[in-house]
Structure 1
């Protein structure tokens, strides 16, 4: 009996060791944004601090984690918050950091103070640093996008969740929105708009776009409004400006959270899909946790369904 008990404990320990997801367990994290720089994968996340009984978000800041093996994650701490921006107030919504010419531009969504510039509402700002782990500062001293610049939707939180892509020709694009997907070209300095704001209508789009290019295809991946809780759906195009062809659902509902958010990256020969759920103890829709699973493509470039696991992904060298 003692031998059987020892074997059972060992088996449980082994299962626990392979239960990688969620990958960050000591704090609640959300809205993952991965980049690769000099052989290291950096993961930028939101930070949920709402109480167990809360019925709304409380997201005071953004964090950065890094790994070189997809198993061990270093916490670099709180590196940015809405307090970094003199014009900002409110929570730290989804954000994405991107590198260009040795500088790191962190595009964030938060809310604007009521002042002579804006009557309030969601806004997008840009922080900049010489290193992926900061220190970061407000790059322009004002918001890049304010609520008054987009008028197709009347709710005040429609300018959220920026995603930025730099094309092979050096042209940068930013996409964002809630209930309406917007895109605009950015100048090479990454802190100025380079043309008008454009509007597109991906099927079932609600929020959380992630745009990237891979093997000649452009992908627009987003949280969908087809059901509640959210799922992840996507479109493909041969141009960053469209037309976009709807391709379907790639991630079903996640455990214990009515939101999900994609972050997609290729690293050391594998494709990875980051997302969040509410599966940590005391977790939930306002106490979310980032996970990662493998992502696979078909020969024609379409994406296979994401298989959500508790095991996560295997270590890499």
Structure 2
């Protein structure tokens, strides 16, 4: 096994709180092991264009508490082509990079898998950075804890105005393909109902739940993941208003505030642990794998098994909501 001499580090796809903490951990762990580190800005597109800069301990000072990513991020249509990946490989060789740490989610790891199969001389491991918590191979992804705490804070404020006006709020959270944010926050805010894309949502069942709820409740919250098939919060709100014109119904879409903000302690610690593990994994000869945390232990999952897999809906969460919303 040839020792790793220089690691290229990049963030790709959507940003998530904790990415900077992970960048910091990778850079400082690599330097601890006398491995050079280079930052690749703007993801795969920056790799193709040679937007590569040296990194040292000072370059990652005072970033652990910041949201977003200091290396910038984005998508690259060019990298999806064989020609684009060849350009990226040439840039890596030009900069003497023999290993990569990829921070991102589904799209990032799909690209990493294809690149690693075409150019096996470049070792590559991934860190799960996505607020959706929709990757297999880790109990929690970097950014998820911050996102759900942001939602909790926002919906607590919505609840206060809902109680003041006796309103029903339909709150839409992120989750085009995954309801993990909606499920956990729905319990945390005491929602009357949760609608997620993993299960077939029945608008009549929602009506039934609203009718069965306590009549003296001064506010009601329905949590909806953006990917739910009835059409999102506005369509659900319109259906409720038509069925129950006496309800004072409002819709609130939380949107991209869920991606921003200072990462929580949980996300900072998770990012630090996984960042250290990524560098040590490369040193030990790992490649083509995502580094995750399962039952508080570092685990490795091949890219092909970590991408495009969603968690099964936790039926216990749904049962808890039905019991506690009465």
TM class by smaller structure: under 0.3
Structure with larger Rg: 2
The alignment's TM-score, normalised by the length of structure 2, stands at 0.23
The alignment's TM-score, normalised by the length of structure 1, stands at 0.24
More strand by share: 1
More helix by share: 2
